[in-house]
Amino acid sequence: MPGKKKILVVSFQSLTARSGAGMARLGYYLSEELDKRGLLKNFIVYSKGKFTTSFPSSAVSKFSRYYLYALNKLNKFMPMQPHKFRFLQEKLFDWCCVRRITSDIDILFVTQPYLRHTFKKAKKLGIKVIFIPANPEENYINNIVSQEKKKLHIDEDDAYTYEKRINYYNESMKYVDIVVGSYPTVYDSYARSAYQGQVVKLIGHLKPDFSPAAPIDRPIKPEFKVGYLAHTVILKGLQYLFDAWEMVMKETNYDENLKLYVAGGIDESMHEHIVKNHLNIKNVQLIGRIADVPEFMKDKDLFIVPSLVDGGPYTALEAAHYCLPVIITSNAGSGELLGRNNPGCHIIPIRDAKAIKNEILWAYTHREDAKQMGLNAKHNLDNYKMEVFISELADYLENL
């Protein structure tokens, strides 16, 4: 409609035929809603296959697929550290995105902040810049990671402590008008940070496309299986779960019925720490990457998310989908959804091995209560309507 504002939605990830990878999923559904309201200019992503969407969408550059292919080939023969390779991709995306900023745009809505040049051009043209983070504030994460690395005697950089990337983030954020915090920990970290713009709380979750699953009536057996699933970096808090498990083993006199299953890849520095400090813990299986997540979840009695910082971990929602009771830290956003009403999770402080230990022993000795908590988790997840959150976000943008 004539006179309506135009909103450009930008996501660093790639578009898929059904939605998008990572935060591009939010961008996909928001763009679809904005287009229905006549507000969408375009949805820009890093790369896009040969399919169409019901709304305007395109890759940041018609050459971006070739750029990415060339970068990956180069990285194969001349490997870069992962955080440096990631930063190179982010800067390239920024330079390409600058060209998509035009004077007919009223709002630039982005799902990642490493866009210093793009934001700068937008501000020159009087375009309002709005950012919705997937994770808590970057300097906040940097502080936690740096403290943890010092504690574990890990010296190497990563994406959250790489100084050039942090500086790029801080320079970019100077041009951002509004940050939308969709998880409590994200909102709180930005509200307490040095960021000078407006921070808005609009709580919502990205709900994965799970295959339908009926509630599971888990039989109560002597054996009690505890699960953990993540690509483990220092922020995932596995070190605290291992500390807790050692306490559990000692307090139960190494009860053979208690078993911990650790799934997913493990970064080299964390693997070295585990080998050095936790290799001889009883009743633990490191099972590496798994192909069948549903089978992993269905086979367990309790799921632990000990993350020091985590936006909205899907693994917690996957556990809930299969009626697993969840123990999750206060810095992991999915706890907000699972903890509603009759809670499907117990929320504990970060870096608290004793709290993890207590929750494992509670679930082990209160099997019926833990089982009900798993059913509550599924109820909360199944009854959550992501489309309501998308509509509320679109309302906010329309009414600015």
Q: Measure the CA–CA gap between 61 and 39, rounded to whole angstroms.
A: 22
Note the pLDDT tens digit of each residue in 263-295: 999 998 899 999 898 888 999 999 999 999 999
CATH of the domain spanning 7-207+385-399: 3.40.50.2000
List, in order, residues 6 or more apart from 22 with CB less than 8 Å away.
11, 12, 13, 134
CA distances from 145 to 47, 155, 156, 161, 185 (A): 31, 11, 11, 7, 16
Helices (H), the chain: 24-36, 64-77, 82-98, 116-124, 138-152, 163-173, 184-191, 238-251, 268-277, 293-298, 314-321, 334-338, 353-365, 367-382, 386-399
Fold for domain 224-382? Rossmann fold (3.40.50)
Question: pLDDT tens digits, residue range 245-258?
Answer: 999 999 999 999 99
133-148 pLDDT, tens digit per residue, is 999 999 999 999 999 9
The pair of structure tokens assigned to 286 is 């490191």
How many CB atoms within 10 Å of residue 6?
A: 16
Per-position pLDDT tens, the chain of length 400: 456 889 999 999 888 777 677 888 999 999 999 999 999 999 999 888 777 899 999 999 888 777 777 877 887 888 888 888 889 889 999 999 999 999 999 999 999 999 999 999 999 999 999 999 999 999 999 999 999 999 998 888 888 999 999 999 999 999 999 999 999 999 999 999 999 999 999 999 998 888 888 998 888 999 999 999 999 999 999 999 999 999 999 999 999 999 999 999 999 889 999 989 888 899 999 999 999 999 999 999 999 999 999 988 999 999 999 999 999 999 999 999 999 988 999 999 999 999 999 999 999 999 999 999 999 999 999 999 999 999 999 999 999 9
Question: What is the 8-class DSSP label of residue 301?
Answer: S
Distance of CA 171 to the CA centre of its chain: 23
Cα 338–Cα 373–Cα 366 angle in degrees, nearest 5: 145
Query: Is the Cα torsion angle 375, 379, 382, 384 positive or negative in sign?
Result: negative
Predicted confidence at residue 1, as pLDDT, reads: 44
Q: For the CA atoms of the chain, what is the radius of gyration?
A: 22
Query: Is residue 39 a contact partner of residue 397, using CB atoms and an 8 Å limit?
Result: yes
pLDDT of residue 3: 65
Contacts of 69 (CB under 8 A, 6+ apart): none
Long-range pairs, 191-199, Cβ under 8 A, ≥24: 192/140, 193/137, 193/139, 193/140, 194/139, 195/137, 197/173
The reported pTM is: 0.93
What are the residue boundaries of the structural domains of the chain, listed by start?
Answer: 7-207+385-399, 224-382
